Structures are given as structure tokens and as C-alpha cells.
Structure 1
Amino acid sequence: MRPITRRVLVGFALVCLGLLALGALPSFLGTGDPYYLTATPTEADGPAVNATNLTERRYPYLTTAVETGRSEPYRRGPVGLKEAFTHSPFDEHEGLVARNPDARRDDGVLVQVDDQRYLVTVTR
């Protein structure tokens, strides 16, 4: 094998291993206090995000919060590396606001699932 070909293959293998490590590494980088997405039943009026047909694949923290009251914990990375590669409750909160900006409240987002309304917030 020619030296240039060997270098290209080794370089390609290192890039592949690096990308694989970045995909697995963020789950090990969690530090600090955990963040949760909480869903509190409410009787508040006004516009709400219709979350009846939102899937668990797209909104895993929201669906868990609606079912149990609080999602699984999420810990931020030490230097912001984790946030670039993982899905977080902050992403879901902003996604809900993007679906209906009028549903934003001072302390969260008003969400309606079937006939029940929830105030969804990111808490520590």
C-alpha cells in the first residue's frame, strides 16, 4: 500500500472514531444540578399549544412530564459541548413556544393535551 493511501485511510479512521466519540461522549459529560421539564395541571385560559398529537420521539421530556408530572433529569455539559450534540428540555420548551408564541407565560408555556391544560416549565 502506498504511504499516501495509508495516511488517508488512517486519517479517515481517526475522523470516524472522533465523530463516534462525540456522539457517545455527551451522555458522560453531564455536570451540575439536573434540569427537569415539569407539567403542572392548570385551569388557565388563553391560547395554548395543542400537544395532543406530539410524538414521544420529538418531545420525550414533554410526554414524560405530562404523564408523571416531571421529566427525566438533564444535566448540562461543563463547557457547552453537550448542548450542541444532545436534545434537552430547553429545546423542547423553545419548540413549544415556536409552535404558538401566544401560549408563553411568565413562568412557562401553556400546553393542552386532549382536554387537560398544563403549565410546562423548565425547573432545577
Structure 2
Amino acid sequence: MRRITRNLVVFLLALVVVLLALGALPSYIQTGDPYYVEATAVEEPGPTVDANNLTDRRFPYSVAAIEAAEAGETPARSEAYYTGPVGFKEAFTHTPFDEFGEFRTRNATAVERGAESPVGDTAYVELGGQRYRLEIVRVGAE
């Protein structure tokens, strides 16, 4: 009985380690061309998503791009997101595409599909009375 219990405990510990690795390691994969969210302040009116309640924990790419635009950076981009091999990473990490999906859920009229979907997707958000155009862009390997 002790041998079975020991083997079960070892198996469960190994399973926990594997599951933790699957949750943590994909964020370190940096293969392929990087994707960014770029923000541009715009003046034209139109439908928007309210960005006053966006947090950098839930929308890190969009918030970083807006902050870069407010700071006057050119181009005003978020940190890079790398897709990783065969779509494995997307299942375990947060992506800019997730953020634009949430924008679409909040106000579908404020999000436009890009010709190279999802690259080129555009969302319009409003923060503190300023309207921003957010776009997912793919930049060649740097």
C-alpha cells in the first residue's frame, strides 16, 4: 500500500509541475514576427469603447499603447506579442486579439475588421474626452 501511495503522490506532483509549466512557459516563447497595439489620437467623431475603466492588468497592450500616445511617443506602441508555434501559446496567454475581442463585445460598432484579419483590426476608444484609434499591427522581425 505504501508503494502505491508514494507513486500516486509522485504522479500528482509531476502533474502539478507540468500544469504550472504550461501556464508560465508560453509567455517566454518569442518566435515569429511581433504584433503590437498602436494608438493614435484622432479628432473625428464616431462610436467608441469607454476606456476610463480599462486596467493595465486586463488590457495591458491597449493601455500601454494609449499611455505611449499620451507621452508623445512615435509610434505609440505596446510591448511586442509573439504568437509562438502552431497556436499553442494563445491557449495559455493573454493576447492583443483577446483585448480587441472584448472591445467588440462591449461595442461592436467601435471595432473594424482589418483586411488581413486579425492584423489591421481597429478599435476606437475614448479616454478622458480624447478619442484614440487602436490598431493591431504586425512588424517584421527586428
- Gaps of at least 5 residues in structure 2 are 69-75, 115-121
Unaligned runs of 5+ in 1: none
Percent identity between the aligned chains? 51
User: Could you say which residue in structure 2 is the equivalent of 1:93?
Assistant: 100
Q: Provide the residue aligned with 1:117 in structure 2.
A: 131
Q: How far apart in 1 are the matches of 2:136 and 2:59?
A: 14
Residue 106 (structure 1) shift: 4.8
| Distance in 2 (alpha carbons) for counterparts of 1:72 and 1:123 | 12
Measured after TM superposition, the shift of residue 28 of structure 1 is 2.6
TM-score (norm 1): 0.93
- Helix, strand or coil for the counterpart of 2:6? helix
Give the counterpart letter for 1:75 in structure 2: Y
Q: Which residue of 2 aligns with 1:47?
A: 47
Letter in 1 for 2:7: R
CA distance in 1, matches of 2:44, 2:102: 21
Please state if 1:76 is matched with 2:80.
no
Counterpart Cα distance in 2 of 1:109 and 1:24 = 29
Residues 1:102 and 1:30: Cα distance change in structure 2 (over 3 Å): same
In the alignment, the residues of structure 2 paired with residue 110 and residue 44 of structure 1 have an alpha-carbon distance, to the nearest angstrom, of 11
Matched with 1:63 is 63
Is the 1:30–1:78 Cα contact (8 Å) retained in structure 2?
no
Distance 2:21 2:59 in 1: 25
Partner Cα distance (1:96, 1:58) in 2: 12
Structure 1 Cα separation of the partners of residues 100 and 36 of structure 2? 11
Residue 51 of structure 2 is aligned to residue 37 of structure 1: no
Classify the secondary structure of the residue corresponding to 2:85: coil
Structure 1 residue 57, shift from structure 2 partner:
1.2
Counterpart of 1:20? 20
